Each structure stands twice: as C-alpha cells, then as structure tokens.
Amino acid sequence: MRWRQRCEASVSATVWRSARYGTWVRRSSSRRPSRSPAQDAEREQGRARKAVEAVAADLMARGNLAGGEAQAVLEAQAMMAQDPELMADVERRVAVGSTAERAVYDAFAAYRELLANAGEYLAGRVADLDDVRNRIVARLLGVPMPGVPDSDEPYVLVARDLAPADTALLDPTLVLGFVTEEGGPTSHSAILARALGVPAVVALPGAGEIAEGTLIAVDGSSGEVFVNPSEEKKSQLEAAAAERRAALAASTGPGATADGHKVPLLANIGGPADVAAALEAGAEGVGLFRTEFLFLDDSKNAPSEDKQVVAYRQVLEAFPEGRVVVRVLDAGADKPLDFLTPADEPNPALGVRGLRSLLDHPAVLRTQLTALAKAAEGLPVHLEVMAPMVADRADAKAFADACREAGLRAKFGAMVEVPSAALRARSVLQEVEFLSLGTNDLAQYTFAADRQVGAVSRLQDPWQPALLDLVALSAEAARAEGKSCGVCGEAASDPLLACVLTGLGVTSLSMGAASLPYVRAALAKFTLAQCERAAAAARAADSAADARAAAQAVLSGE
C-alpha cells in the first residue's frame, strides 16, 4: 500500500516501525469544558492566571532546553499564553459566570478565529495556539499534558498533529520521522521536523489508519509514505537519503549555482520572532517581511508609528549590511482587518485588498512608511520596500510617490501577484526598482482558483506551466530594464522548482528559513545552463506534473 501527498517537510527518507502520539490525552484537554457556573469569580480568575503562568514557564523551559529555532517557536507560544488581551478576555468571561477552564477555552476560540482568517502564514500558527490552550486547560482540569510516547526503540511518529512543545524536545535518534494527518506546509510541526532533520510528511489523509507497530517508509522529499515496503524500495530510499545528507552537509555560504551564478537566498519572516531562525539557516537577508502581524493585536486601529518603529528596527538591526525587503500591509481577502477591509465585498479576493486598501487609507500607508524610514535611520542595512497587489503602472507610481513623500531612503518595488503586472512588467518597472513574484497569489489570480479553497488546489500548484510563463515574462522584463526580479512565494522553497526559477531568470529566492539549506544544496548541484534547460523543458509541458517530471529528467541527466 502506498500513500502519496505533496512534499511538506524535510527531504530525506526513513524506514521504521510506527508509534502513535498520545492523542487520547490531547482529546481530553481539547474538548470544550462544561459550563458549570463558577461559584467564586476571583478564585477562578486566580486559577486561570496561575495555570497560564505555569504553562508559559514550562514552554520557556522547554525552549531553553531545545535552543535554536525551536526556542523561538516556544517563546512565541509562551507569549501567546501571556497575551494581556487574552487574559483580560478570560477574566471577563469568568466574571460573568464561566469556570476558569471554560473561559480559557472560549477566549482562545475567539483569538483562533482571528488567526485562522488571517492568511496562510498566520493560519499556520493556529495549531500552536490550540496547543497552548490544551496545555492550560489540561493543567486546570488536572489531567496529563499532551505528550509523545515513551520508548527505548527508535520509531516513526504517527499523529493527528504535533505540538511544537513536544516536537522541540524530541530526540532525533529515537524519532526517525513524522507522519501527521493534519497541519500544512507552514505549520510548525513541519517546520520543526525540518529543523530536526528528520523526514516528515504532513497533512496526509488516512494517516490515522496506520496501525501501531506497522513497518513504514517515509520519503519527505516526495511526500510518500510506504506501508510494509519491499526490500528493494527500502534500499532505494536509504541510498537516496544518504546522498541528500551528504549534499546538505556540504551546503554553506551564499546561494549560487555550481558554476558560480549568484542567487541570493533570503528568508520570509512574519516578525522579529522569526529572525533567529533565518540567521541560523544562513539567510543572506530578508526577501519578504510580512508586516501584518503588527496589525493583528487590534482589529479596529492601526498600530502607532512608535510601535512599528520598534518592530521594524529589531529586524533591520539583525541584518547589518544585508538586504531587508519589507512588504507594506497586505490587508483584505485572506487577511481582513476591520478598519480597512469593506465588510460587504461579494468577492474579497477581487476587491479592495493590498495596495488598493492602502491607497484608500493613505494615512495608514504614510504611518507605515514613516515608521520604516525612522527605523532604518543610521543603519547600514539595504532597505527595500514593496507593495502587494500591484496591478499596473498607475499602482506602481502611486506607491513610489507615497514612498518618496514619506522621505523613505530605500528601493521601492512591486510584488507581481496579479497577471496584468507580469504581462506588463516593463511598464510597471518604469516606476519601481525591483519586482518580487508572489507566486501564491499569482497562481490564485492566473487560474481563478481561490487559495483558500482546497477543492481547486490542483490549480494552485506553482509548477503549472502558465505560472512559469508569467515568471519568465517578469524576469525577462527586469533583465531588459537592468533591474532585479525575485520570488518570495512558496514556489521558491521547492528545491527543484528553485533551480527552474533560476533558469527562468529570477535573481533571488526568498522562503521560510527551514527550506534554505535544501534550496542552497539543490542549486549548488547544477550549472546555470542546466537550470535554463530544465526551465525550458518545464515550460514546454502541459501540466504541473509533466513540468516537474520534465525538469527532473533534465537535471538528473535522463
């Protein structure tokens, strides 16, 4: 039997027996607690506060033990637990009669909805929030915390989903791989699996049917899980894994092809908390700083200029002399904000979002640009600022004018997320100095396939030749204008596709920190001419699957 699911996590393979994550414990604390009225509000509020503090301290302690990327994730979780607004909400709910556990559950539910609707990146944090809630509720109920199985034997962990707090302390000599039924490419279980260096396949339908003790092979590079694999399959996978490990170990320094064509490898970050992981993975800078996180605390008002200056400066200081590309607020559609996004749009993805929304609220854009200008003052960093959802030259001009008016000393750029901007890239480039391809939205608008609707995910595949054509058009236009054109959508994090994008003429690649070593190793294996041949072969195909196979065939010399 063989399951197949898109590659979501690390790129190596393992063959071992499965063991199940303690889901019963998880369920006991993730179920909504009953609503028996609290007798003594003050006492309940005290219990809630104590539980929150204990869970935050436990998460911090686990982070200290784990170090590295896991520490940043766990510290972010501890901050979620201690969020003053959440605590105030819990106390309000207790004051009107909830028990502490029920109040925690309901307050987290409200926050959860906000995150889930805030776009792919932030939606990926929902699992972390759920875990914090489960831990607090478990403590209040006096039941054991969620946890991984105790075992002296190495095993492959099969779970509905994994919490960072458990994943962080896993011993990679015991846990040889993960398979989860839930989660996504940006979920922390996938990210931490990559950091641990074990193969993982996430969001695999039917994973829960794998019985404890079954022999399974997990191929993180293809996203395949083989149940009871043949001897031949086992040795094939083991040989491929050994080869990849050797390539990864040899991959350091700036991104470049085998013949020295430089392709700067940059990190996508969602805020200062992601900087440590980016540096550790050797990011040469930041290619996409999503600034939406700053706007989530208060859905009614924009954050003050001072608050923004502090957050931006923290990021800029981390990359002295490096390049940091900041994207101005991308509100609307999958990232709605009450004070900016019209409530009654019949089709929000085609409505007032991204730059359109900022041009309708010039004061919000002005504050953000002024804050960026102040944050960069006196720093040697190469600041670049770009706008999401630029459709044409007029959009690009309006953005560049706003940047100039704010006194911003930076390069101004346009994201290419709307097909019209790719088709008329040379015209857009008359107003701005660089392009950055947001392939997630570009796929959505090219194929009229909502990125939040699973039923049309076939069309969201960045290997679709039509998408590759638009990438090529943008890169050619930038080259003709002597300007740069990077990719900051998910496409850049697929090592094989990264080689194809390079062959199409893209000048930098930006991705989640965890993908950087894999992309760096893949690029270093091939010359620019090979990447160009792979790109031509992919564009000549008629489907995403054929494009991938054609590029693979060229690069493996078939």
Ligand X SMILES: C=C(OP(=O)(O)O)C(=O)O
- So which residues are the catalytic ones? 188, 488
Tell me the backbone φ, ψ of residue 542, rounded to 5 degrees.
-110, 0
Q: Which is nearer to Mg ion, 199 or 354 (CB)?
A: 354
CB of 449 to Mg ion, least distance (A): 14
- Residue 530 amino acid letter: Q
Residue 288's binding partner among ligand X, Mg ion, none (Cβ under 5 to 8 angstroms by kind) is: ligand X
Q: Which is nearer to Mg ion, 158 or 422 (CB)?
A: 422
Q: Give the start-end residues of each E strand in 160-293.
A: 175-180, 200-201, 215-219, 224-227, 265-269, 285-290
Q: Which is nearer to ligand X, 105 or 121 (CB)?
A: 121
417 annotated to a ligand binding site: yes
**380 burial level (CB within 10 Å; 0-12, 13-18, 19+):** exposed
CB of 446 to ligand X, least distance (A): 12
Show the CA angle centred on residue 387, arms to residues 386 and 390, nearest 5°: 130
Among the listed residues 441, 450, 461, 494, the single contact to Mg ion using CB under 5 A: 441
Residues 8 and 203: beta-carbon distance below 8 Å = yes
Residue 439's binding partner among Mg ion, ligand X, none (Cβ under 5 to 8 angstroms by kind) is: ligand X
DSSP lists the bridge partners of residue 4 as 224
Q: Taking CB under 5 A as the rule, does residue 131 contact Mg ion?
A: no
Residues 258 and 520: beta-carbon distance below 8 Å = no
CB of 542 to Mg ion, least distance (A): 26
Q: Which is nearer to ligand X, 511 or 550 (CB)?
A: 511
Q: Which two tokens stand for residue 467?
A: 């998408």
451 annotated to a ligand binding site: yes
CB of 381 to Mg ion, least distance (A): 24
Q: Which is nearer to ligand X, 120 or 317 (CB)?
A: 120
CA distance 277 to 290: 16
Long-range contacts of 55-61 (CB under 8 A, 24+ apart): 55/81, 55/132, 55/135, 55/136, 55/139, 56/81, 56/82, 58/135, 58/165, 59/132, 59/135, 59/165
CB of 346 to ligand X, least distance (A): 21
DSSP lists the bridge partners of residue 159 as 180
- Residue 357 amino acid letter: S
# of chain residues touching Mg ion (CB under 5 A): 3
Q: Which is nearer to ligand X, 100 or 265 (CB)?
A: 265
What is residue 384's three-state secondary structure? strand
- For residue 323, what are the CA distances in angstroms to 99, 261, 315, 316, 485? 50, 19, 11, 9, 14
CB of 487 to ligand X, least distance (A): 8
Residue 120's binding partner among ligand X, Mg ion, none (Cβ under 5 to 8 angstroms by kind) is: ligand X
CB of 461 to Mg ion, least distance (A): 16
Q: Which is nearer to ligand X, 117 or 552 (CB)?
A: 117
CA distance 315 to 386: 16
CB of 304 to ligand X, least distance (A): 23
Enumerate binding residues for ligand X (CB under 6 A): 119-120, 288, 290, 330, 417, 438-441, 488-489
Q: Which is nearer to ligand X, 38 or 511 (CB)?
A: 511
440 annotated to a ligand binding site: yes
Compute the half-sphere exposure of residue 556: CA atoms within 13 Å on the CB side of its CA.
9
**195 burial level (CB within 10 Å; 0-12, 13-18, 19+):** buried
Closest by Cα among 324, 440, 447 to 388: 440
Among the listed residues 177, 183, 220, 438, the single contact to Mg ion using CB under 5 A: 438
Tell me the backbone φ, ψ of residue 144, rounded to 5 degrees.
-60, 150
- For residue 427, what are the CA distances in angstroms to 422, 423, 476? 10, 9, 13
Residue 290's binding partner among Mg ion, ligand X, none (Cβ under 5 to 8 angstroms by kind) is: ligand X
**213 burial level (CB within 10 Å; 0-12, 13-18, 19+):** exposed
Provide the binding-site residues for Mg ion, judged by CB under 5 A. 417, 438, 441
Q: Please give the annotated binding residues, written as ranges.
A: 290, 327, 417, 440-441, 451
Q: Please give the annotated binding residues for phosphoenolpyruvate, written as ranges.
A: 290, 327, 440-441, 451
